A and B are shown apart, each in its own frame.
Chain A
Amino acid sequence: MTMHTPAPRITIVGASLAGLRTAEAVAGVLPGARITLIGDEGAAPYNRPPLSKDALESLARGRETAAAVLERLALRSKLGDRAELRLGQAAVALEGTTVRLADGTAIPGDRVIAATGLRPRRLALTGAEGRRHVLRSFADLRALAADLRPGARLVVIGGGFIGCEIAATARKLGLSVRLVEPAPQPMLRALGPRVAAAMAALHRVQGVDLYLGRSVAGFGAAQVVLDDGQALEADVIVEALGSHPNVEWLAGSGADLTDGVLVDDHLCAPGAPGLMAEGDVARFANPLFDATPRRTEHWCIPGQTARRVAEVLAAEAAGSPPPERFAPLPSFWSDQHGLRLQAFGAPTLADATRVVEGDLGLTGTAPVIVEYLREGRPVGVLGLGANPAALARHRAHLETSLARSLAEADPATPAV
C-alpha cells in the first residue's frame, strides 16, 4: 500500500531538457506538489542539438556573442514559480529518497527523478594537452568554437552523429578535417552498412578525410597517432567517442546502474523505492520492439518520458493504476553538409534495409527514403533530404505496422 501525501515532494536531478519537461508535466498534473529541480550547470536549461550545428558555426564565426547564443538556446519554460531551482549544484548521493548536494545540503523528498543525462567518454591517453575537446555542454561549445579557425587542422575521433556533425560544421568553417572511426563506416551502428556507406561518400565529397577501421594509439604534442602508426597533424582535436551515463550519485541506491538507470514500464527503478529515471540516462524496454531494456540518446525521449512520469505520478495520487504500457515511437534527426537525416523507429535494431524512394547513390543531391527491417518486419524509416510529407506517410505506415506487431504479441492491446 502506498501512502498518499497531499503535497508530495518531488526532487528532480538534472536541469536540462528531461528535468525541465518533467517539472512542467508534474506541476501540471499535481498542482500541490512541491518540486525541486537540481542542476550542476550554472545555466538555466538549454537545447543541446545546435551545439554541434548552427550554434557552433555562429560562435566560431563570431557572428553572435556567447551570451546571445546561450539566450537563443535557452529552453522556453512554462514552470514559472512552480519549482524551486537549484542551479550550479551537483547531487552527490541518494540516501533513501533524500538527495545530498555537493555543499552538504540534504533535500528530503517523497520521489526522486534522475534526469542526469550523459557525459562524453574520453580516451585514457595523455598528450596533445590544450588541444583536446569534447562537446556536450555550453562550456564545451565555447572552448571548441574558439579553436575552430579557418585553415586549422581538425581531427575528430569518433564517427557517430556528434562527431560527423562537428566534422561537417568545421568544413563549412574552412578547416581541414580528418575523422577517425574504428568501425568500417561512420554511424554504422545507427544507420546500417548501406546508408552509412552513402554517408561516408558524402563526407568524402565534402572534403572530410575518413580514417575508417582505425583507432587512436596515442597523442604527440600536436599529433594524433593511429594504431597503424600514421601520425595526423592536429591543431584541434575532438573526442566524440560516445558517452557515459551520469549515475555515480546513485551508487548504493539499490538501482541497477549498468549502462544508465534500469527502469520498468512505470519508469521506476527496481531495487530503489521512490527512484524514477528518464531522458538519456534511463534504460527501459520499449514493447514496440522487444523486451530488452536500452538507453536511447535522442532529443524526443526526454519529452516522452517526462509525460510518462507525470502520468504515473498522477495515477498514483488518484489511487488508480497508471495507463498500461509505455511504448513511445522514437525519432531523431541530424544535419550534415546541408543534408537533413530524419528517422523514426529504431533503425539500429534492423538486420536489413530497403530503399523505398530515391537512390542511395544520389545521397545529398536527391531525396532518399529507406525502410529498416528486422526479420522482415519494419522497425524504422529514415529520410535523407526527404520531402517531409512523403516521410510523414512512411512514418504513419511504420506506426501502424509496429502497433499491429504489438497487438499480435499481446492480444490484450487493440490494434490501431
Chain B
Amino acid sequence: MNVTVDMSICLLHGQCVIAAPEVFSFDDAGGLVWLTQVDEGLRGALEAASDACPEQAITFG
C-alpha cells in the first residue's frame, strides 16, 4: 500500500505517531517522517492513524 500525507494541511499533531508508530515518527528536528510503502498487514494501524488525524491529511491504499 502507498501511504500519503498531505503536508500542505498536516499540522504536526502527532496523533498518527501515536496510532501507528510502525509507520509514522518525528525526526529530531520535529518533522514528520513515514514509510511510503507498507504491506497489507498494517491496514488496521493505518486506518487508526487516518481516523486519529484531526486534519484528515493521511490517505493510503
Contact = CB atoms under 8 A, between A and B. Distances in A.
A335 B52 CA distance: 18
Contact of A392 (B17, B29, B56): B17
Contacts of B54: 47, 49, 299, 333
A96 to B, nearest CB: 32
A387 B17 CA distance: 14
Contact of A331 (B15, B27, B29): B15
A78 B15 CA distance: 19
Contacts, number: 42
B60 interface: no
Contacts of B11: 335, 340
A8 B17 CA distance: 35
Contact of A303 (B13, B17, B52): B52
B41 interface: no
Contacts of B26: 388-389, 392
B5 interface: no
B12 A388 contact: yes
Contact of B27 (A335, A342, A389): A389
B30 A390 contact: yes
Interface in B5-58: 11-15, 17-18, 26-30, 32, 47, 50-52, 54, 56
B56 A342 contact: no
A360 interface: no
A18 to B, nearest CB: 12
Contact of B52 (A76, A300, A342, A392): A300
Given A387-B30, A389-B27, A389-B28, A21 B14 contact: no
A395 B56 CA distance: 22
Interface string A366-409: 00000000000000000000011111100100000000000000
Given A388-B30, A389-B27, A389-B30, A342 B13 contact: yes
A390 B31 CA distance: 11
Interface in A316-345: 331, 333, 335, 340, 342
A300 B48 CA distance: 12
Contacts of A395: 18
Contacts of A21: 51
A75 interface: yes
A300 B17 contact: no
Contacts of A299: 54
A336 to B, nearest CB: 14
A89 to B, nearest CB: 26
A342 B12 CA distance: 10
A87 B13 CA distance: 31
A21 B18 CA distance: 18
A318 B18 CA distance: 29
B33 to A, nearest CB: 10
Contacts of A335: 11
A333 B13 contact: yes
Contacts of B52: 300, 303
A388 B14 CA distance: 7
A188 to B, nearest CB: 24
Nearest to B28: A389
A387 B27 CA distance: 10
Nearest to A329: B18
A241 B24 CA distance: 37
Contacts of A390: 30
Closest 10 interchain pairs by CB?
A389-B26, A387-B30, A388-B30, A388-B12, A388-B26, A389-B30, A388-B14, A303-B51, A76-B56, A392-B26
27 contacts: A75-B56, A76-B50, A78-B47, A299-B54, A300-B15, A303-B51, A303-B52, A331-B15, A331-B18, A333-B13, A333-B54, A340-B12, A342-B13, A342-B14, A387-B29, A387-B30, A388-B12, A388-B17, A388-B26, A388-B30, A388-B32, A389-B26, A389-B27, A389-B28, A389-B30, A390-B30, A391-B14
Interface of A: 21, 47, 49, 75-76, 78, 299-300, 303, 331, 333, 335, 340, 342, 387-392, 395
Given A49-B54, A333-B13, A392-B17, 12 more contacts: A21-B51, A47-B56, A78-B47, A300-B52, A331-B18, A340-B11, A342-B13, A387-B30, A388-B14, A388-B30, A389-B27, A389-B28
